Structure 1
Amino acid sequence: MTHPPGQPGGGGGSGGGTTGPGREIQTFQFGDLPLRTVMVGGEPWFVTADALAPLGLNRSSLAALDDDEKGVQSLYTLGGYQQMSIISEAGLYSLILRSRKPEAKAFKRWITHDVLPAIRRTGSYTAPAADLDELEVARRYVLALEAKKAIEAELAIAAPKAHSWDTLASGDGDFSVGDAAKILSRDPVIAVGERRLFTVLSDHGWIYRGGDGRWRVYQSAIEAGRLSELPSSHYHPRTGELVLDPPQVRVTPKGLAELHRRLGGMQPLRMHEQIALPAP
């Protein structure tokens, strides 16, 4: 793991739980379990051990996170400064999606309804809103709105790129089940569509249907490097609340090669040829 982007491994300052100027640990309670948070680069990060506990996960789950979703930070504790593993908000959502514990849903709601709103009311941990004058509250509210609009603008610019081949597949990336079916069907002896490929994956014991009827990936298939899950979410059109959707099943190059072999493919896999994409 590395330090979060733009942040040093350690920090100055002492006392009061600070990890450096403008950064301070804040602890929330999920029942009897603490969740320590710290602002890094203007965004909330979470102490990994605290996030794993209510989800019933262990540190092996961190292997599924991207490098920019995890890091190490020097945080002040009662025993002095300690190097502690932390994860970003996106990394936390990814772990929630991987949890099989019933409490994961309540934990997600607590994060989105209590923890993050409490953090973003002020944009930092330096002072609660009650201690701010009306002008400062209004200023921070405007800054929060501007930040939200900036993120929405970046997402709008990035959306068309999702239709490019570079995004859908590369030698180092993975594939949606639909695109994996198209690649496999390039072999004359294989005729498989998206629906049938889902059935094939289920028959091989790589995926299963969750309680909501949506496909989920077995952890064994992830650990074997055959499949991955892509966390997905959307904002509720009426409330603006972030809603976590079921993760998307993705086929890795290793999984694609094994499927090609199991389905009796005769020709070499051609993963780098462009796939016909639907119009945006």
Structure 2
Amino acid sequence: MSADLNLFNQDDDESPFDAIRRIRPDGTEFWSARDLMPLLGYPTWQHFLPAIGRARSSAENQGQDIATLFTVDREKGGGRPREDFQLARFACYLVAMNGDPRKPAVAAAQAYFAIRTREAEVAPKPAALTGPELLAHAVIEAQAMIAAKDAVIAVLEPKAIVADKILDATGDYEVADAAKVISRAGAVTGRNRLFNDLNERGWIYRHQGDGKWRVRQTALNTGYMAELPQSHYHPKTGVLVLDPPQPRVTPKGIQRILKDYGVQR
């Protein structure tokens, strides 16, 4: 058995998933999404967010209380507050179910939270699960997982078709519209977050003169970004004034972002 799969061991009280479990003052438990991220094999928060987004959609489609399962937590530090989620046990289970199945660590988390969630639901709790009991629980959870994913696919498939049509278009999109397309395709983002992401990718930058966003030439050359010329007439002189061009994201750029977010198209 690989080291990753050893993350889940019914007889091991020192499981990494148990180690990062936190307890609130009222006695309820939760897991920090930031703490869970490396145990599921995700290198960055941006890569992990799509799995959280799909888990939230799955919970919402099942009629679950999203605010309780995925409590937004913005950690305050010296700079900008860092986004995090306080995940209930079932939320962790859904995140694992919607993670990259190719990652052994994700498979280990699926097994861990499936069994632990089932244990919490069953009373009285068995002292220890035997081999047959463990297999029975795994079969039950696998059946539930398949049913849940089929329901999610049925809901998301029309959105995916719409997103595919948009991505096949020849035009480009204002950043706010591009964020909507990316969200429809399964990644969690918004206008401001996407601007920050484009800046971190080195596709855009802030102009020192007017503070407006500009597209870097490398992003234009690769076809990931485009610019829309803008102008206006001076209200007093009537002279045409050239404004900073509007940054636009191309379909090629959107596909690259989705690929980096782990959303397969």
Q: Same fold (TM over 0.5)?
A: no
The structure with the greater share of residues assigned to helix is 2
Q: TM-score, normalised by structure 2?
A: 0.35
The structure with the greater share of residues assigned to strand is 1
Q: TM-score, normalised by structure 1?
A: 0.33
Which structure ranks higher in relative contact order (CA pairs < 8 Å, sequence separation ≥ 6)?
2
